[in-house]
A = this chain, B = another copy of it.
Amino acid sequence: MVSEHELNERKLTILHAIIKTYLETGEPVGSRTISKYTDLNLSSATIRNEMSDLEELGYIVQPHTSAGRIPSDKGYRLYVDMLMEEKEQELNEREDQMLEKADKMEKLLKQAARVLATNTNYATMVSTPVNSANKLKFIQLSMVDEEQIIAVIVLGGNVIKNRIINVEEPLSNENLLKLNMLLNTTLNGMSIEEINLGLIARLKEQAGIHSEVIGNVLDAVADVIQLDEDMQIYTSGTTNIFKYPELSDKQSAQEIISAFEEKQQLTELVAQTLSKEENTGIQVYIGDETPVQNMKDCSVVTATYELGDGMKGTIGIIGPKRMDYEHVLKSMKRLQSELDQMFHKKE
């Protein structure tokens, strides 16, 4: 049986040493290694006793008798929550790549994913920002040809969408102007919830014979707000998983790679991430904790970035459970702030 307080100072030190060593080597670590590695000046035999206790407590496990120990999910969790020192050290030292300016946000985000993958050697994903609680900023209808109107819809954060609307007969320029006036004076600055049935009825009434067009436009607006509708997810460095034998067997590799290709599951991850409101904005999922079933043998670190106007996006790093959490968290924070800077410099 093990003492009341579960973990005394010494056990913590040993656990810490085990995990750190394992993170570095990826090999089960044995008592002798720890005996030398720490400055506790204990013999391997003593360490063995402590390790036996730690195993009983569920922090480490043995892949098989006569192998060293590796951290369990519970062990990793403790490490991430308590043991790990977050090095706030100079970032400049490492020769990590930096984000470069890019004209289009799309390009910038793709680049962000790539840079992050290069710097960490894990697989990464970046979602385009998504308009949670968005407002309508501006609508413009224009005749493209005899039978088609294009509706340009600008949302808060200057997100621009467009839809083609078919009409039976051409509208006169004058009428088009009126409709534009009507739509903009009524709807500008409104959030989706505010555009209710009563308002719609009133609008249609005022539009007279063109009420059908208004209907179509409002449909388009509703359509455009749908979150997922056009959220894009960029991935990079998927093949980094082959650097980690524990994820390289066909089974695992296949699962992870499909999750990355069929973005469906990543969407789920983004939704989860955005819904949780942590103060730091960074979350760590270890093993089974992950919202993405296909990644149950991985650790997943996510963060959100903001654009203002309620626009939020997600960054994710996916790697083996024995990922270098310190480095990953550091890179994550850094990218977060770089993105912030980019987006706020821009406006």
Contacts and interface: CB of A to CB of B under 8 A. Distances in A.
Contacts of A239: 253-254, 257-258, 261
Interface string A250-286: 1001100110111000000000000000000000000
Interface stretch (A61-69, A152-160, A336-344): A152-160
8 contacts: A138-B145, A138-B150, A150-B152, A160-B164, A235-B261, A236-B262, A239-B257, A239-B258
A242 B238 contact: no
Contacts of A150: 138, 140, 152, 154, 160
A152 B261 CA distance: 32
B148 A144 contact: no
Interface string A127-163: 0000000000110101011001010101000101010
Interface of A: 137-138, 140, 142, 144-145, 148, 150, 152, 154, 158, 160, 162, 164, 235-236, 238-239, 242, 248, 250, 253-254, 257-258, 260-262
A150 B153 CA distance: 11
A150 B162 CA distance: 12
A158 B144 contact: yes
Contacts of A242: 250, 253-254
Contacts of A236: 261-262
Nearest to A180: B142
